[in-house]
Amino acid sequence: MVYPNKINSILKKAQIEIGDTIELISGNKVYKGILMPHHEFSDDDIISIKLDTGYNVGISVNDKSELKLIEKNVKYERKDEELRYDNAKPTIAILGTGGTIASYVDYRTGAVHPALNAKDLAFSVPELAEMCNIRAKMLFSIFSENMKVEHWQELANEVADQMNNGARGVIVAHGTDTIGYTSSALSFMLSNLTGPVVLVGSQRSSDRPSSDANINLISAAQFGIDSDLGEVVVLMHGETSDSYISIHRGTRVRKMHTSRRDAFYSINEEPLGSVKNGKIILSQEYKKRGKGKVEVHDNMEKRVCILYPYPGIEIEHFDFLAEKNKGIVIAGTGLGHTPQELTNSIRNAVSSGVVVVMTSQCLYGRVNMNVYSGGRDLLKAGVISGEDMLPETAFIKLMWVLGQTHDSKEIKNLIETNLVGEIGKRRI
């Protein structure tokens, strides 16, 4: 990416271009290395330099910084040949949404680019182009915490279009923060999937030697090509080393660590399987590839929220949410409890048509409001059990269910029924 105006003019004045070896003196420090392109997520005053160590550093440039050209980049030259379509190979669609994985490292310069097209991706991970024909499309370029219903809808329709036009699998490159919300949304929106929809992210940016981007992406492509699964899954590192990649069901996966590469866990079920040394193992039940056309049901009610109750929560906090929303997912304590004082407000909200679904802030285990009288009061007040759904999955499901029907019996029935693997069987 091109640098913002101010830095761009400083670079022009010094006759420096991306790929050149430069020296930057900032304060007492001297940085020497290759000038990288502007990173989409960097601040406007930052320039990126690839040091000899292989790491890219971002350095703030101001009027006092000195910038020198050391050597013009003779090696950097952009190949421009087209990727040829090969009839013998399957086609995989790669949809970019932003986040760390959507950027890529140019192998020759180490530069971080947002991967905008098929050529970029082919350059970034040469193995991909050998495995399949790539149809790449950058749908948006946002941090995943900024994803909204509209993005999920656009994504779902694009996935269906790609599959209905010959893609054997679809890879969605996604920021890790909300990858579980998006995978849930796609799980509910898409039916009769004729192949895997593989969401993949990376916890370390591609400009770091420890990046998990490439192996996650290659495994996703392999899975998209070889697997007979027709579901939405998330592929991420199974442990901190590169030994294997876990395959998580889209409605069960949760980011359980802020920074580890193996941050993702399937909650309340085992991962569907793994990709290890190029071998795909699927050890749990799953839905097979459908025949015919992928269908999209992307209507969602946006007025849905998550409430995480805590000791001493004010009644008016709940009342405010009940007034503004058509659905509330409570991440209650233990088996699905809230401070007793809320029960009256919850009853009133349900009476006035708000759908309230109970999940647990424990995350693991199943909600059971029949055990204690507080829970029974919530059931009597009309709270629907979220069973063993994650709060985040219940939130997505509630938006989706309220987007499909206004019939209160049907709503309750849909919430309590396992639709796409989001609810497990009761053991007792």
Nearer to a copy of itself, 230 or 332 (CB): 332
Q: Which of 21, 89, 161, 177 is catalytic?
A: 177
Q: Which stretch binds a copy of itself (CB under 8 A): 116-124, 156-164, 362-370, 410-418?
A: 362-370
Nearer to a copy of itself, 6 or 148 (CB): 148
Q: Give the tokens for residue 207.
A: 């400009």
- How far is it between the farthest Cα atoms of the chain? 76
The pair phi, psi for residue 285, each rounded to 5°, is -65, 145
CB 236 within 8 A of CB 246: yes
* CA–CA distances in Å: residue 121 to residues 39, 96, 283, 367: 16, 10, 31, 44
353: left (phi over 0), alpha (psi -120 to 50) or beta: left
Binds a copy of itself by CB under 8 A, chosen from 21, 26, 42, 299: 42
Which residues from 167-186 bind a copy of itself, rule CB under 8 A?
176-178, 181
Residue from 335, 398, 411, 415 in contact with a copy of itself (CB under 8 A): 335
Shortest Cβ distance from residue 327 to a copy of itself (Å)?
Answer: 12
With b for 16 or more beta-carbon neighbours within 10 A and e for fewer, the 371-383 pattern comes to eeebbebbeebbb
12 is a catalytic site residue: no
| Integer-rounded Cα radius of gyration of the chain | 24
**Nearest distance from residue 144's CB to a copy of itself, in Å?**
8
Q: How far is CA 306 from CA 81, 190, 225, 325, 413, in A?
A: 49, 23, 37, 10, 20
From the candidates 91, 176, 194, 338, give the one annotated as an active-site residue. 176
Name the β-bridge partners of 307.
Answer: 330
Across the strands, what pairs with 134? 92
Q: Within positions 230 to 259, which residues make up the interface with a copy of itself, using CB under 8 A?
A: 255-259
Task: Write out the H or E segment, with its range, that includes residue 325.
Answer: none
Exactly one of 317, 348, 379, 412 binds a copy of itself (CB under 8 A); which one? 317
Q: Which of 299, 333, 348, 404 binds a copy of itself (CB under 8 A)?
A: 333
Two structure tokens written together for 300: 């969602």
Active site residue 100: yes
Near a copy of itself by CB under 8 A: residue from 366, 415, 420, 421? 366
Is position 1 an interface residue for a copy of itself (rule: CB under 8 A)?
A: no
As a whole number of angstroms, the distance between CA 392 and CA 124 comes to 33
CB of 283 to a copy of itself, least distance (A): 23
- Site stretch for a copy of itself (CB under 8 A), options 17-25, 131-139, 144-152, 291-299: 144-152
Q: How far is the CB of 52 from a copy of itself (least distance, A)?
A: 21
Query: How far apart are alpha carbons 199 and 235 in whole angstroms?
Result: 6
Read out DSSP for 270-302?
A: --SEEEETTEEEE-S--PBPPSS--EE------
Cα–Cα distance between 1 and 13 in angstroms, integer?
Answer: 19
- Is position 359 annotated as part of the catalytic site? no
Nearer to a copy of itself, 76 or 143 (CB): 143
Indicate which residue of 91, 97, 100, 359 is catalytic.
100
Binding residue for a copy of itself (CB under 8 A) from 194, 360, 385, 393?
Answer: 360
d(CA 97, CA 129): 20
Cα separation of 218 and 230, whole Å? 19
The residue from 49, 112, 125, 149 that contacts a copy of itself (CB under 8 A) is 149
> What are the tokens at 20?
């050149």
Residue in the block written with tokens 């009610």: 301
DSSP string, 91-126: EEEEEE--SGGGEEE-TTT--EEE--SHHHHHHH-H
- Smallest distance from the beta carbon of 357 to a copy of itself, in angstroms? 13
Residue 41 binds a copy of itself (CB under 8 A): yes
Residue 195 vs 238, nearer CB to a copy of itself: 238
Q: Any alpha helices (H) in 110-203, and if so which ranges?
A: 118-124, 126-131, 149-164, 179-189
Catalytic residue from among 20, 109, 182, 255: 255
Residue 137 makes contact with a copy of itself by CB under 8 A: no
Compute the least distance from the CB of residue 121 to a copy of itself, in Å. 22
340 is an interface residue for a copy of itself by CB under 8 A: yes
Considering the rule CB under 8 A, would residue 209 count as an interface residue with a copy of itself?
no
> Can residue 57 be called a binding residue for a copy of itself (CB under 8 A)?
no
| 85 touching a copy of itself, by CB under 8 A | no
Question: Which positions are annotated as active-site residues?
Answer: 100, 176-177, 255
Give the footprint of a copy of itself on this chain (CB under 8 A).
Answer: 41-43, 143-149, 176-178, 181, 255-260, 263, 302, 305-314, 316-317, 320-321, 324, 331-341, 360, 362-368, 372-374, 376, 391-392, 395
